[in-house]
Structure 1
């Protein structure tokens, strides 16, 4: 499974509805929502009212990356607003397992996030319960950053852990610096979901989506 998830953080918010429709028509698979609170990361983006306002625009799944402290306080509200997937940072909550259970018991997919400096082995006790892992290939907080090359090794380590724990069904998502030039390499490593911001919304959106989807599907 190879899925493209444009991040609307890089969209033109004065044309947000139009650009969401454009990426859907171009063949995008998921809409990625970067939710930042100015506390867990040094930036503030948008919240539940914006999610509610754009939910009627598209039938694509919404994937919310909660870069917020105490995500357990807001996860259910995001699900009620129409989010289908929620990922959170384990160091932002005290009870990760409880939060995973809350998300899944309310009909959404649950994922956890690995920051660039977070080791893969932190997943050992939670990997049996989650649906996907989001690997950050930049430090979270701002769009348009450069891809951190060491991320490739993290993907390999995650795949090894998945094999060791019998959870090869977990999806691997990657976010940060994904481009037309590196998406094929990441795909061959075993990544399933590709979050792309500037690579989608800078320039011709439909052409960008087309090229990204082509490149992530090529097997060399």
Structure 2
């Protein structure tokens, strides 16, 4: 069984000391730093800023992704490539020409990903799957931390895992991912987990202890 990817959602980090939080998470052994960028339009909130992205990139050599929860994500590919993103997720729901945008990401030498909202079917994006390295299923409606996991997405996750064997992408999940959900969804074949307040942040244990427990 391949190692599961544990990816802290840095929107939930301690912004009073973001540099220390990033370094502590790196020491804890996380795999990918997950960075939410929101425009207040595609989702009703604003996420991390460019300065936050630059700071985290400057203090870790671990992979950084960027989850573009924005309208017309193609307009931001070059910017985040230049800021040091290793993986760029777009929402096909927000892009008139998602295939072209995915090609643009790969042309920049980055890993391409798509993320889909709970109400978007796999059938709506199946033509894009040969173009992606990562396929992220949103298990809450995007935009805010601390929401409840939507159980009806599980059948979609199972379909994605089945298709991943054909198209060779990693299945990721994002939203209300608790330790129990990591255990449950690992058994379904999910490879990567975005960690927020349900599993990692705001706990009474240090990050290293939590990550070790989640790996177990």
Instruction: Return the TM-score normalized by structure 2.
Output: 0.94
Aligned Cα RMSD in Å?
1.2
Q: Secondary structure of 1:125's match?
A: helix
Within 5 Å, give how 1:110-121 maps onto structure 2: 110-121=112-123
Q: 1:98 aligns with which of 73, 97, 100?
A: 100
Structure 1 counterpart of 2:188:
189
Structure 2 counterpart of 1:157:
159
User: Are the aligned partners of 1:115 and 1:139 in contact in 2 as well (CA < 8 Å)?
Assistant: yes
Structure 1 counterpart of 2:179:
180
Structure 1 counterpart of 2:142:
140
| C-alpha separation in 2, matches of 1:30 and 1:14 | 21
| C-alpha separation in 2, matches of 1:160 and 1:201 | 31
Structure 2 counterpart of 1:217:
none
User: Are the aligned partners of 1:3 and 1:30 in contact in 2 as well (CA < 8 Å)?
Assistant: yes
CA shift in 2, pair 1:55/1:162, >3 Å? closer
Q: Can you give the 5+ residue segments of structure 2 that lack an aligned partner in the other structure?
A: none
Q: Secondary structure of 1:20's match?
A: helix
Q: Are 1:7 and 2:6 matched, yes or no?
A: no
User: Are the aligned partners of 2:164 and 2:170 in contact in 1 as well (CA < 8 Å)?
Assistant: no
| C-alpha deviation, 1:161, in angstroms | 3.3
Count of matched residue positions in the alignment of Structure 1 and Structure 2: 211
Q: Are 1:201 and 2:201 matched, yes or no?
A: yes
| C-alpha deviation, 1:159, in angstroms | 2.5
